[in-house]
């Protein structure tokens, strides 16, 4: 009777039940140190580095490569499609170059995925056994998806030239590649999100009902969407950095032109993805709060609250870096671009002021004497900027300014020919102005209403207003410029070295951001492997302080860049295609 329902036989049932009984009797912690021959192993460790640190490094590198591998096919496909529609071969070559990077990174992603799996099985057998019991069917699906993804990628890459006359078939392969990649991402997301937001799995659900309930946990879709967008951002900025480095090493004008253009496209993709990312992040945080108030508080107000100052700093650097690259493009690539200096200085001023507010912490780091002089850790003036109402306002302003930078760059050197162009330009300008005013009014008003009103209505309204501007101004400007005359040609290959360093800075920052928020997501579970269900009883059942974590994030980022440099360097050793041929 005891083995009834155990599925895998009485021996495993005996091990499982005795482990559980011992654990419930309160000897779980001693079992760690005294693994008797009769009891199943719950944890294993590794000397010097420690099992948790080992998993941290391997998982981080795997996830960064995975983000790149899943993000790049999205915009490679878009570039290829644009090439087909416009019959501009440059886009096709660019898409192919993106895919070359993707193919090079794919094997390394799988390699680190395999190492991660061995680490999890070896170091955390109790957790892994538990997860396998719940998610086993999804493991099979995951494997099947890889079996589909890999040949599709081979066909997509190796069939590029041979399918030039069957482009639609090649595009279809690209679509398939993205579909498989998307499902690979969401299947693995279900495991990680279940650990953070597990649900009640009652017997009445039945086997498949339980699997689906575990997969479709409350934070699954917010994380899916957030990661999908973030992967595009990561892919864009990494490709931009790659182009920047190749630009610096270019020997010919053609190469410089090509990599300058590639860098511009990479940066554009990164920014384009970055604009909706805060909204996806807001949705995720909202779901976390709704799932478990305690977890939300741990993230935003508990020991992780200072993490968001680091996040604010990185986002600030990212927005400044991205805008700086745009502005350098206006000045250097466009003849007479200096005429935009006034607008650039204005945007820079607004951006710096907004970032100043964005980075102001609620509680200042102060000595006891300074705190007494201030009357607490909240500065009498700056403390006003440390709350969510101010943060939400300025982040929307930052997005509006960045979008404005892009529109100026887009319109520079072009003269509209349609009769309604003037009206459209005025309309877009008025829209920007009204949106900024509305965002500020809602932000100030937010100080005087209950938090629930501010979160549910004011912050949401600010987001919707900015989204409305983005979604209206983009097609409107596109329509105006469709038949516009080019008065000043963009000159490619004339950007200074500092612009390429800006691209590298953006890529490094976005990787750091991903490592930082990965740490936040894991730490929000605190001392639980599975929040509220399976407690971490290992000696690593704590989240390290931010200083230690920041040093680790820097190490992981550096390792990732070393690997990326090696892989992309090796990928470039093949027979070289003349850059001139690319632009033709």
Partner 1 sequence: MGHFFKVMLFVAVYLGLFAYVGLQIPQQASLPPEVEKFDPSQIKTKEDLARIGQKIFFGKGQCALCHSLSPSSTARCPNLQGVGGKLTRDFIYESVTQPQAYLYMDYTFSPPKFFPAKMPVINKPPIDLNNNELLSVISFIQSQGGEVTVDPSEIAQPESGATLGKTGDPALGQKVFVKMGCTKCHKAEELQAKAGKKDEASIRQLILDPYAGVTANPKPVHQGFDQEFTIKNFNDVMAYVAGTKPEAGAH
- Closest distance of CB 88 from partner 1, Å: 29
> Among residues 8 and 349, whose Cβ is nearest to partner 1?
8
CB 24 to partner 1: min, Å = 5
Q: Which residues of 549-578 are buried (b: 16+ CB within 10 A; e: fewer)?
A: bbebbeebbeebbebbeebbeeeeeeeeee
DSSP state of 455: I
CB nearer partner 1, residue 437 or residue 453: 453
H helix or E strand, kind and range, residue 535: strand 534-535
CA atoms within 13 A on the CB side of 519: 31
Is residue 238 within 8 A of residue 247, CB to CB? The reply is no
Residue 229 CA neighbour count, 13 Å, CB half: 17
Structure tokens at 389: 């109402």
- As to burial, measured by CB atoms within 10 angstroms (0-12 exposed, 13-18 middle, 19+ buried), residue 202 is exposed
Whole-angstrom distance, CA of residue 327 vs CA of residue 342? 11
Quick one: 344 or 504, whose CB is closer to partner 1?
504
Tokens of 326: 């745009």
Listed residue (524, 552, 522, 528) closest to 541, CA to CA: 528
Nearest residue to 147 via CA among 110, 97, 103: 110
- Closer Cβ to partner 1, 147 or 365, answer by number: 365
The 10 Å Cβ neighbour count of residue 205 is: 15
Least distance (Å) from partner 1 to the CB of residue 371?
Answer: 12
C-alpha dihedral, 268 to 271 to 276 to 278, nearest 10°? 170
CA–CA gap between residue 203 and residue 298 (Å, rounded): 32
Q: Taking the complex as a whole, how short is the minimal distance between the CB of residue 222 and partner 1, in angstroms?
A: 18
Paired tokens of 172:
């279809």
To partner 1, the closest distance from the beta carbon of 336 in angstroms equals 30
Q: Which is nearer to partner 1, 303 or 420 (CB)?
A: 303
Provide, rounded to whole angstroms, the least separation between the CB of residue 199 and partner 1: 7
- Least Å distance, CB 550 to partner 1, is 2
Terminal Cα distance for the chain, rounded: 75
In whole angstroms, the minimum distance from the beta carbon of 509 to partner 1 comes to 8
List all residues 6 or more positions away from 183 whose beta carbon is below 8 Å from its beta carbon: 141, 145
Q: Which residues contact 185 (CB under 8 A, 6 or more apart)?
A: 66, 70, 224, 227, 228, 231
- Characterize 325-334 residue by residue with b for buried, 16 or more Cβ atoms within 10 angstroms of its Cβ, and e for exposed: bbbbbbbbbb
Nearer to partner 1, 217 or 396 (CB): 217
Q: Which is nearer to partner 1, 233 or 455 (CB)?
A: 455
Closer residue to partner 1 in complex, CB, 180/308: 308
Distance in Å, CB of 5 to partner 1, minimum: 6
Instruction: Let me know the angle formed at the C-alpha of 473 by 472 and 479, rounded to the nearest 5 degrees.
Output: 100
**Listed residue (256, 292, 206) closest to 494, CA to CA:** 256
In the complex, what is the shortest distance from the CB of residue 40 to partner 1, in angstroms, rounded to a whole number?
11
**Rounded to whole angstroms, how far apart are CA atoms 505 and 512?**
10
CB of residue 79 vs partner 1: minimum separation in angstroms? Answer: 25
Q: Which is nearer to partner 1, 26 or 574 (CB)?
A: 26
Question: How buried is residue 14: exposed, middle or buried, by Cβ count under 10 Å (0-12/13-18/19+)?
Answer: middle
* Between 160 and 247, CB nearer to partner 1: 247
- Kind and range of the H or E run holding 287: helix 277-291
Closer by beta carbon to partner 1, 291 or else 403: 291
Tell me whether residue 380 or residue 475 sits nearer to partner 1 (CB atom): 380
Shortest Cβ 408–partner 1 spacing (Å) = 28
Residue whose CB is less far from partner 1, 357 or 502: 502
Question: Whole-number minimum distance, CB 555 to partner 1, in Å?
Answer: 8
């Amino acid at each position: 009777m005891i083995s009834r329902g155990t599925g895998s036989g009485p021996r495993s049932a005996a091990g499982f039940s005795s482990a559980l009984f011992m654990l419930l009797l309160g000897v779980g912690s001693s079992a760690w140190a005294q693994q008797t021959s009769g009891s199943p192993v719950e944890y294993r460790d590794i000397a010097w580095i420690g099992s948790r640190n080992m998993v941290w490094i391997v998982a981080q590198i795997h996830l960064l490569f995975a983000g790149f591998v899943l993000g790049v096919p999205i915009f490679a496909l878009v570039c290829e499609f644009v090439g087909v529609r416009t019959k501009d071969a440059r886009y096709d070559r660019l898409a192919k170059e993106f895919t070359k990077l993707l193919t090079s990174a794919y094997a390394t992603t799988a390699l680190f995925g395999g190492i991660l799996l061995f680490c999890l099985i070896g170091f955390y057998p109790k957790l892994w056994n538990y997860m396998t019991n719940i998610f086993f069917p999804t493991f099979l699906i995951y494997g099947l998806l890889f079996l589909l993804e890999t040949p599709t990628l081979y066909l997509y890459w190796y069939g590029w030239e041979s399918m030039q006359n069957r482009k639609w078939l090649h595009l279809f392969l690209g679509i398939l590649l993205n579909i498989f990649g998307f499902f690979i991402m969401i299947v693995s997301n279900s495991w990680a999100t279940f650990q953070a937001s597990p649900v009640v799995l009652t017997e009445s659900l039945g086997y498949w009902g339980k699997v689906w309930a575990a997969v479709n946990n409350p934070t699954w879709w917010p994380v899916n969407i957030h990661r999908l967008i973030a992967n595009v951002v990561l892919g864009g900025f990494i490709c931009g950095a790659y182009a920047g480095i190749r630009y610096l090493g270019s020997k010919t004008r053609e190469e410089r032109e090509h990599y300058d253009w590639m860098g511009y496209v990479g940066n554009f993709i990164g920014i384009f993805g970055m604009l909706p990312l805060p909204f996806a992040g807001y949705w995720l945080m909202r779901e976390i709060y709704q799932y478990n108030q305690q977890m939300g508080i741990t993230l935003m107000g508990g020991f992780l609250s200072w993490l968001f100052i680091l996040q604010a700093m990185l986002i600030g650097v990212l927005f400044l870096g991205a805008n700086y690259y745009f502005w350098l493009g206006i000045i250097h690539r466009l003849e007479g671009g200096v005429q935009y200096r006034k607008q650039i200085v204005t945007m820079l001023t607004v951006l710096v002021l907004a970032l100043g507010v964005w980075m102001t912490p609620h509680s200042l780091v102060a000595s006891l004497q300074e705190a007494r002089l201030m009357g607490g850790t909240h500065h009498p003036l700056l403390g006003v900027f440390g709350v969510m109402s101010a943060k939400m306002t300025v982040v929307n302003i930052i997005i509006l300014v960045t979008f404005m930078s892009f529109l100026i760059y887009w319109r520079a050197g072009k003269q509209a020919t349609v009769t309604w162009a003037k009206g459209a330009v005025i309309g877009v300008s008025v829209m920007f102005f009204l949106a900024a005013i509305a965002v500020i009014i809602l932000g100030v008003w937010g100080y005087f209403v209950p938090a629930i009103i501010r979160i549910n209505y004011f912050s949401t309204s600010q987001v919707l207003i900015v989204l409305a501007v983005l979604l209206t101004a983009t097609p409107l400007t596109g329509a105006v410029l469709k038949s516009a005359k080019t008065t000043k040609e963009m000159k490619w290959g004339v950007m200074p070295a500092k612009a390429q360093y800006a691209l590298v800075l953006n890529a490094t920052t976005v990787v750091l951001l991903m490592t930082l928020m990965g740490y936040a997501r894991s730490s929000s579970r605190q001392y639980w492997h599975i929040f509220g269900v399976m407690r971490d009883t290992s000696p690593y059942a704590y989240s390290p302080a931010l200083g230690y974590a920041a040093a680790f994030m820097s190490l992981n980022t550096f390792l990732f860049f070393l690997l990326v440099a090696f892989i992309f360097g090796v990928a470039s050793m093949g027979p070289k295609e003349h850059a001139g041929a690319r632009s033709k």
